A and B are shown apart, each in its own frame.
Chain A
């Protein structure tokens, strides 16, 4: 826990004012921008994800932290050269066909963004075809699917099959989640990973792409 501990703390608390001020003073003090991002902001969001997983933080608090992080990002984004702010990976995310639930999916998207991934959110009721097309278009590293109804879970299998048919199944990792989804179901449909909540999703995504 480094020179950025008060920044980290402010992000975890969701204290936008303090966090922005801390970011600014770190910049003024000449800290490395990449360090502010990695050791300050992303480290904070990692902890947020962890606390969310254990129940110590909940959705509103997590959203507030994500918002705080975004505000801080505004300050440092401009300082990166074009292409220098490299994303950890490209993620295409959505709720599967005939399922309209999106709160959980949005949380996952937000946490992944906070952890440095580049996110393409397709929204809800996303067909296997749309998942596949978008994944091809952006050259996704991860396709992440959410289903909140046991009756729409089969659409996850169909999406994986569609990725296969398009010939990109070996290029992308598939993550799934949602209330009725289980680890077993994930291995049954040959998804690469299952995450029970937004915090775990980030950890799982990093693991899939070999990021530590």
Chain B
């Protein structure tokens, strides 16, 4: 027997990670391009024009980037320094003031958001979180490619093609199998590659035979299936880097903003499930198309993907009937992690490509939470006690470490996403995302730096914290009418409306459309309900674990709100326990981070499946103390922290 040509190679183990700290300057920075919401990873110092050249974004221009024609205009939405001398000459003062710059003269030195397109259309920028930090781990992706050199045809003694590949690949691959489609094209591909090709391997399955040159093209997709937003990432399996990330609003949103309304739609319409599934697949295919374009890839280049979402979204992805999740006792069809053919799901990638769908724990503890646990590293942690949460309509909370992990889902309601707040909105252009006060000044931080249109979740939390701090809102949540000037916030901002008092966030002259923006007394009540549910959920888990606040070593906030909310504000309103601020960290988009960890490491897939079984789910609606805790958590903390 001939010695197999390919030496048994020890799996290459390279450790890598996204640099979690911002201390040293990263070589690459993100360029966000609106209105398409395209995210490009570009080398620091490149010009915007250079960055856009490899995309399908088209800019005007005659001079080839010399800074002479003044046509490659882009609008910079991020804060930016003074314009280049060329821009000063070629652009008029109004344009410069509005942040318009020349793409060829503007170097990208930090994360930038730019707007490309007709300036008269209203630029709406959705603040959707795509990036996330992840722990250090070994690279062992779900999909591998191996160069294989088959001995020439003449000496094979009548051996089957697949058998010859097995022999060539060595004893580890004695049990190599291949799906029918791969076998059908195998003779052709072997001939075309002259028997020296790249075997595309999913475990012990040969899913394709490619020319050798393709051996280095190893990419995978990751999808975060959010109820309101979808995020897709193209990830290099060679080094684990994110090549591109794209997000879009979930088209299902027109059938309701939350999981329950989607379930309701499926319940009431015989074709509801099919409809929602189709919308989702269409969205994912659009995202995929853009990602492939940015990466310079074809659909056939993608053999692997991982999807993570809440249990309902994952059911909708797989066209599984989710109606059981809608009502007690909240039964999903399956909680298993699934490996399905991407083509069967409807994704436009290689016909043999596989899609991993994350395991879930229960109807309301989904693959997104399992992903967040992975991203937090809590399950590998022996000593530290980790509290993590992803705050949306359902506040998903976990607490523990390797020894024991508890989780629960607290019905926070939509207030933290800006809904059910009288002038609330989701985090997009014009949303107040934070406030500051002091020195006689009260000012709002607004997404895209325009005049405010409404208040989003992080803005609501910040606003409430400032009002509590200044005493305008008391710890019971009542807006106080009779303060003259509370710590520099003019008392004139407290406005009476039929016997109750509201807080004026932006007057007619300060707001985007000339209509005043109020934070009403009822808005504060909604916030109290939301934060009460989350705080009571945390307290229930802490009880179950037998620890107090000082037993918590790390607090990880995942998701958009978790990333943008000020930790001190979250503590001031009692949304999270009062811990040392430096142990509170944002996890970023933890669902996609966890999913990409699975994509890049088989061990994490296994871990995810183990977690889905080992993690303990505390059902709050039947928990004896929860209601009492909830009521107790409705008030705001009395003492000021700052």
Contacts and interface: CB of A to CB of B under 8 A. Distances in A.
Interface in A126-168: 148-152
Contact of A59 (B260, B328, B634): B634
Given A102-B627, A103-B627, A151-B326, A54 B260 contact: no
Q: From DSSP, what is the main secondary structure of chain B's interface residues? A: helix
Interface in A55-104: 55-56, 58-61, 63, 98-103
A151 B528 contact: no
A130 B267 CA distance: 25
A56 B500 contact: yes
Interface string B516-556: 00001110110010000000000000000000000000000
A125 interface: yes
A77 B326 CA distance: 44
Nearest to B524: A55
B540 to A, nearest CB: 14
B634 A60 contact: yes
Nearest to A151: B326
Interface string B167-202: 000000000000000000000000000000000000
B529 to A, nearest CB: 8
A55 B521 contact: yes
A60 B476 contact: yes
B564 to A, nearest CB: 26
Interface string B252-266: 000000001101100
Interface in B491-507: 498-500
A148 B263 CA distance: 14
Contact of B630 (A55, A103, A124, A152): A103
- In this complex, the member of A54, A59, A152 whose beta carbon has the largest number of chain B beta carbons within 10 angstroms is A59
Contacts of B478: 56, 58
Contact of A151 (B327, B476, B634): B327
B492 to A, nearest CB: 21
A55 B525 contact: yes
Contacts of B267: 151
A99 B326 CA distance: 10
Nearest to B520: A55
B631 A100 contact: no
Contacts of B627: 102-103, 106
Interface in B605-637: 621-622, 627, 630-632, 634-635
Interface string B330-373: 00000000000000000000000000000000000000000000
A149 B260 contact: yes
B393 to A, nearest CB: 12
A151 B260 contact: yes
B567 interface: no
A106 B631 CA distance: 12
B476 A61 contact: yes
B521 A59 contact: no
B477 interface: yes
B329 to A, nearest CB: 8
Contacts of A59: 631, 634
Interface residues of B, number: 30
A57 to B, nearest CB: 8
B247 to A, nearest CB: 27
Contacts of A124: 621
Interface string B239-279: 00000000000000000000011011001000000000000
A58 B261 contact: no
A152 B325 CA distance: 12
Contacts of A151: 260, 263-264, 267, 326-327
Contact of B328 (A58, A63, A103, A125): A125
Contacts of A125: 328
Interface string A161-204: 00000000000000000010000000000000000000000000
B499 A98 contact: no
B413 to A, nearest CB: 8
Given A58-B634, A103-B627, A149 B500 contact: no
A179 B530 CA distance: 13
B327 A98 contact: yes
Contact of B622 (A54, A55, A99, A100): A100
Nearest to A56: B500
B327 A55 contact: no
Nearest to A96: B327
Contact of A101 (B326, B520, B621, B635): B621
B261 A60 contact: no
A60 B630 contact: no
Contacts of B411: 101, 148
Nearest to A154: B267
Given A99-B328, A100-B622, A152-B327, A56 B521 contact: yes
Contact of A58 (B476, B499, B621, B630): B476
A107 to B, nearest CB: 9
B260 A150 contact: yes
Contacts of B326: 149, 151-152
Nearest to A63: B631
A61 B478 CA distance: 11
A150 B413 CA distance: 13
A58 B633 CA distance: 12
Nearest to A55: B521
A59 B526 CA distance: 11
A184 to B, nearest CB: 16
B495 to A, nearest CB: 14
10 contacts: A59-B634, A60-B635, A98-B327, A102-B627, A103-B627, A106-B627, A149-B327, A151-B263, A151-B326, A179-B413
Given A59-B634, A60-B632, A124-B621, 11 more contacts: A54-B499, A56-B478, A58-B477, A59-B631, A60-B635, A100-B328, A149-B260, A149-B327, A150-B260, A151-B260, A151-B327
